[in-house]
Each structure stands twice: as C-alpha cells, then as structure tokens.
C-alpha cells in the first residue's frame, strides 16, 4: 500500500477495534474524515471481567468481578504556561466510566457525580496513559454483624490477549492464602503457602507474579502455579510498610522505615523522622539489591495502584521523589495535606501544599480543566 490514506475501510475498522484506550481512538478518528467514517463511532467500554469465588457457607462470593482503572496525565499548552493534571478513569461493573482522583478514598464521593459532563479540549492538550489498576470486588459475609458487605482487594492482573479477554489474577481475597484465577479454567486454585501471610503488594513482572508480605518475604508464582519464595539477604529491621513498583523495565521494592515501631503508629507523619529504602529485583540471585535512588523517576504509592514516571514528563517534578497518601488518615477529605511527598535529596516528608507546583496536579479537576 503506497499511502496511508488508501487503506481499505475494513482494515481501518479492524484497527479501531484493537484500540483499548478511548483517547487513542479519538486521535485515530481525527486523522481524516475517511478514517473517521471507517472506524468505531465511540469507544466501547466492556463490562467488568468476572472471576466468581467458590460459594462459602454463607452463599457469598459468586459475584466477584474486576474493576479496572487507567491513570492519565493531561498536558495542556493553551495557556501562558504549561498546565498538568493527573486523574483516573474507572470502568464500573456495568461499563459506566467514572472520573476519580488519583488518590481516592473509599468513603469519598466519586467525581463522576460532581462532574458528569466534564469535557476536554483534545486539540489543545495531550493525554498520556501512565498506569492501569485492577481491583477485585466481591461480597463477603460478616458473622459478627450478620450482614453482607462489599469488599475490594488489591490483585495482580495479567492479560493474556491484547483485548484481555483471557487473563490471570493473583490475590488473597477471602482465601486463607494466595489463590490464582485463570479465565481459561474459570476457577480459583489456592496455592500452598503460609496461610496467615499478609501481602502488601502483588504485581506481574516478566510473565510471573511477585508478592511481598509484611515480614519481607517474596513469593514468586509462575503461570503453571509453581511457587518459589525467598527472603532479602540484607533485611531491614526498621521497615514498617512495603510496596512493589514497576519502574521502567525494573521491579523495585519500596520500604518505608522508622527508627521504632512506636514512631510509625503516631500521627502526624510529617512530624516524625521516616525514610524510604529502594531495592531492585535481582532475578539471578532471587534477592533485592539496595540502590541509592530511583533513576530520576517519581514513584506514586496508592493503596491499589503503584507506578512510576520520569520526572521530565512534568516540568517542576522533583526527580527521585515519592508521592503517597497519608497512611494515618489525617484528613477525611481530599485536602492537599493528606497527600505527602518524600524526596531522597531532602530526607524528609512534606505536604503537597508545601510544594506550589504540585498543587494543581491533585486531586480535584483544576479550574482550567473545568472551563474546557
């Protein structure tokens, strides 16, 4: 084919069917009127993937499904200075798309109720996808209160096809230990590991699942259900909480540390001396190698989603820094005080409000976005 404008309409339509990002589809349809008429009219969000849990004695668990979200960075240059905003789009069980804050609290109102008609001027801005998040949502029976409650749990998600029609997930959910669900088999398989392990992070990496527990033990799960475990050769007795984060082509372990456990449980974290330690996965030795910084990147540590981006993506971002939510719930609202920043070169924690260039990134849509 000599020219892109001469692609057959049926090929263009097939290409549009493969696009899994709503903003990419808009850009695809904007190339020319011929591409627009030959492609999907509107992005088709699929309903949630289902992974029914085995029925327990209370009859709960069979409604388990996966809520998927995408984290985006909006860059607008139609102003005196560049503007940036981080936000999340979550696909509900029925396919409805809801706007969320990046650091969403369970008991807070969703932005979809506050801004149901929010629109973006894509001619004057660029939208970049930074991460995807998957959460298992299911019903559970609480014997103490004799009631059914909705539960959300972090999981590791691995799509096996471009459309994610076939997938694997790893999580604890209502099981004693970890369990894997394969869409091909349509069933859960409990793994033979320590049943009382509390996992603080589960991520897919190079075709395997990695999980870290609160004692620092790493569990590696193959798609074949083969399980391997290892401990860090140089454990840190000051670690209070851990996260696993994909950073470029590396898997890194993030550890929040305090001198004593007593300090970790005292609000306010900004008045305490805490620090973070970073280690990279060494696949050959099954170990974590401690490093001094994070290669000029910024880490985002959310309850359900962890990811990184280069500091150069957003002018003003400080390299080798970590942005995370106040773990102690110091604020019940989306005030900037509840979002904290740790910088390796400063060795301290600051509130987002103390860094002016960060404020409009979080958490509400800034005025210039709403005006669009």
Residues 26, 137 share a domain = no
Residue 104 and residue 20 in one domain: no
Residue 38 lies in a domain: yes
Q: How far apart are CA 116 and CA 202, in angstroms?
A: 33
Q: Based on the structure, what is the number of domains in the chain? A: 3
pLDDT in tens, the chain (372 residues): 457 777 888 888 888 888 878 888 888 888 888 888 888 877 766 667 889 888 764 556 678 899 888 999 888 876 666 788 888 888 887 777 788 778 765 444 444 444 556 677 777 788 888 999 999 998 876 665 566 778 888 899 998 876 667 899 999 888 888 999 999 999 999 998 776 678 899 999 999 999 999 889 999 999 999 999 999 888 788 898 999 999 989 999 999 998 887 777 777 776 778 899 999 999 999 999 999 888 889 999 988 889 999 988 877 788 899 999 887 765 444 466 778 899 888 767 888 878 877 877 876 777 777 665
| pTM of the predicted protein model | 0.86
Q: What is the DSSP string of 55-91?
A: P-TTS--TT-EEEEEEEEEEEE-SSSS-EEEEEEEEE
Domain that holds residue 67: 45-154
Q: Provide the pLDDT for residue 222.
A: 94
* Domain C-terminal end among 93, 127, 154: 154
* Residue 66 located in a structural domain: yes
Mark which of 154, 173, 201 sits at the end of a domain.
Answer: 154
245 domain-assigned: yes
Q: Does residue 16 sit in the same domain as residue 40?
A: yes
267 occurs within a structural domain: yes
Say if 306 falls within a structural domain: yes
């Amino acid at each position: 084919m000599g020219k892109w404008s001469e692609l057959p309409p049926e090929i263009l339509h097939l290409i549009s069917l493969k696009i899994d990002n709503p903003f990419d589809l808009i850009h695809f349809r904007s190339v020319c009127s011929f591409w627009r008429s030959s492609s999907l009219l509107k992005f088709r969000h699929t309903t949630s993937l289902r992974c029914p849990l085995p029925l327990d004695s209370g009859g709960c668990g069979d409604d388990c499904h996966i809520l998927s979200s995408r984290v985006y960075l909006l860059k607008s240059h139609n102003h005196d200075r560049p503007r940036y905003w981080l936000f999340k789009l979550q696909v509900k069980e029925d396919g409805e798309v809801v706007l969320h804050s990046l650091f969403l609290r369970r008991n807070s109102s969703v932005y979809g109720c506050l801004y149901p008609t929010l629109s973006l001027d894509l001619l004057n801005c660029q939208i970049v996808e930074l991460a995807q998040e998957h959460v298992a949502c299911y019903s559970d029976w609480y014997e103490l209160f004799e009631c059914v409650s909705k539960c959300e749990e972090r999981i590791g998600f691995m799509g096996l096809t471009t459309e994610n029609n076939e997938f694997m997930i790893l999580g604890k959910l209502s099981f004693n230990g970890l369990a894997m669900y394969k869409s091909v088999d349509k069933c859960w398989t409990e793994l033979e590991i320590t049943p009382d392990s509390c996992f603080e992070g589960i991520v897919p990496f190079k075709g395997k699942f990695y999980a870290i527990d609160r004692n620092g033990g790493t569990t590696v799960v193959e798609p074949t259900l083969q399980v391997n475990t290892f401990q860090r050769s140089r454990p840190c007795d000051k670690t209070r909480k851990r996260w696993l984060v994909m950073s470029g082509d590396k898997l890194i372990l993030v550890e929040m540390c305090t001198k004593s456990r007593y300090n970790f449980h005292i609000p306010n974290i900004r008045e305490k001396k805490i620090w973070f330690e970073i280690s990279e996965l060494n696949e050959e030795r099954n170990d974590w190698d401690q490093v001094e910084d994070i290669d000029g990147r910024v880490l985002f540590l959310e309850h359900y989603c962890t990811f990184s981006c280069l500091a150069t993506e957003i002018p003003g971002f400080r390299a080798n820094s970590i942005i995370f939510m106040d773990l102690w719930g110091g604020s019940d609202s989306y005030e900037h005080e509840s979002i904290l920043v740790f910088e390796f070169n400063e060795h301290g924690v600051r509130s987002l409000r103390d860094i002016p260039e960060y404020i409009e990134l979080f958490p509400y849509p800034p005025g210039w976005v709403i005006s669009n």
